[in-house]
Amino acid sequence: MSRAILGFNAYIHDTAAALLIDGKLAAFAEEERFRREKHTTAWPECAIAWCLRRAGLTMREVGGVAFYWRPWLGLARRLGQTVAGLPDTLENVRRVQAGNLFKLAGVRREFAARYGYRGPFFFAPHHLAHAYHAAFHSPFDRSLVLVVDGNGEIASTLVALHEGEAIRPLAWTYYPHSLGLLWCTATEWLGYRQNSDEGKVMGLAPYGEPVFVPAMRRVIRYVGDGVLRADMDYFDYHRARRRWFGKRWEKTFGPPRRPDEPLDDRHRAVAHALQAVTEEVLLQLIAEMTSRHGIRRLAMSGGVALNCVANGRIVASGLLDDLYIPPAAYDAGAAAGAALWAERAGFGGTGREIMPAPFLGPEYSAAEIEAALQAAGLRYEKTPDIERRAAALLAADQIVGWFQDRLESGPRALGNRSILADPRRAETKDRLNARVKHREPYRPFGPSILEERAAELFETGGRPSPDMLLAFPVRAAWRDRLGAVVHVDGSSRLQTVAAARQPRYHRLIAEFAALTGVPAVLNTSFNVMGEPIVCTPADALRCFASTGIDALAIGDYLVRKEGT
């Protein structure tokens, strides 16, 4: 008899649902893709319904449900921190903590009320949900596990040992000390939205000078034994949280940037310092823990694990023999981790699925696609060689929306819901940022490249990067030929595309290579700034109609705008 376990998260950010059947991910979906609200905190109603529908199950057939948070874990510790910070912390408790705790503590009742479910219900500790997601989808039987994010119930960082079916914590960094919350703080100070725009700060970092690096080293440091420490005088998120940064931060780095204010050298320098010190403390932690435990394999998760520049530095450091990061390393992926935790802790399950492909979301039939095209009143044609036609348009400097197969999970588009362009011309970056993505002009793009030719163009050390979670230096001989995807520091975040995993996308890039001699295409997510990646054909058609995308390849159908 098969056992189905539903994992989910809710109420904080990036809510999602995952369905595990006999230890394997059968479905995974992020609520934002259905609700069209980026980083939504909403109950994942649509994601849960879709996961069950995909598997052909009703809630009565679900053997267990797992939530990604244990609300009572460390409650005494957090109450002690609140009391110690009085009276400032009263405002934080009133506006944030009390409401979150009430909702999280009532999640079992809420689930029962919504679905009539009376079966086993598990509360997975947040950082262990992340750890199980990384370790039990990794190719490793024995590895270190590193979880780095903003915070869970009481911690912000976990170092653990994974051996066989067990994960044993080795070191914790406890809230309020947090590398992830440092990124939230700097993001807010730079005039962006915390818990949303940290990627913008990472993209800004290479434009800055290292003048603030010594100061940032005083803000956070690695103190040994797997533990990070922050100087909390720089912050206010643990007190009143009127703003995330405190007076000492402003005294050191200057007044915050207004959202409508131009970026200057000071802003760029703080972003640079943040990225540099992030890399330093992560490398120091990994160096000590790998040496102490004699293990050179690492499974990594948490929101900070999406920092592809730091990940590239870790890979290039020589400290590891191998690194695995799940595509949805942030809180959405903890829904899958909660299910994996419950499978073992609740049912004694064993075995695992090695590096499952991230294409676990909805897909649409030809009939559904054609119905959406007709409803939109668009002229279209059906073609048996959509890859060749799309490649020809890209070679002719057209911007192409590419919508195929099942929706990918995680924040990166991986060739199923992508906007594609010719990577050869530097001006393409500006055209995409202005006409299509409607975002800041400094922000970079990355390429998708044939896996078998990646080491020819990039200094990958022979390592694949199928989920766009690593940045590598571009080889000097190719920098002028990849002008649209080379960042100011000479690096690029790349996706290696294997024919066995993505045959259609691989054929497209191979066709483009045959026309141009370049075995890569520019790949960015199919959305505009502030919106989630498109999910349905209707989503794709709206984005196509409202932006400067020239053509849309959706299933076997090709749509072109007038005059293109």
Active-site residue numbers? 13
Structure tokens at 75: 């409650």
Task: Check: CB of residue 15 under 8 Å from CB of residue 40.
Answer: yes
Length of the chain: 564
Residue 506: phi and psi, rounded to 5, are -60, -40
Cα three-residue angle 237-242-243, rounded to 5 degrees: 60
Task: Check: CB of residue 41 under 8 Å from CB of residue 12.
Answer: yes
Residue 472: phi and psi, rounded to 5, are -130, 155
Residue 135 has, within 13 A of its CA and on its CB side, a CA count of 31
CA separation for the pair 302, 150 (Å, rounded): 8
How many of the other CB atoms lie within 10 Å of CB of 43? 19
Sign for the pseudo-dihedral over CA of 434, 437, 440, 445: negative
169 upstream amide cis, omega within 30 of 0: no
- Pairing mode, strands 16-21 and 4-9: antiparallel
Chain CA centroid to CA 329, Å: 6
Alpha helices in 404-461 (DSSP H): 427-431, 454-457
CA separation for the pair 327, 345 (Å, rounded): 24
Torsion of CA 560, 561, 563, 564, to 10 degrees: -50
Edge-to-edge strand list for the sheet holding 400-403: 381-382, 557-560, 551-554, 400-403, 417-421, 520-525, 446-450, 491-497, 470-473
CA separation for the pair 126, 183 (Å, rounded): 19
Q: What is 310-350 written as a DSSP string?
A: HHHHHHHTTS-SEEE--TT-SHHHHHHHHHHHHHHHTT---
Of 58, 67, 235, which is closest to residue 150 (Cα–Cα)? 235
Task: Check: CB of residue 265 under 8 Å from CB of residue 208.
Answer: yes
Of 238, 240, 250, 239, which is closest to residue 186 (Cα–Cα)? 250
Task: Check: CB of residue 220 under 8 Å from CB of residue 270.
Answer: no
Residue 64 has, within 13 A of its CA and on its CB side, a CA count of 26
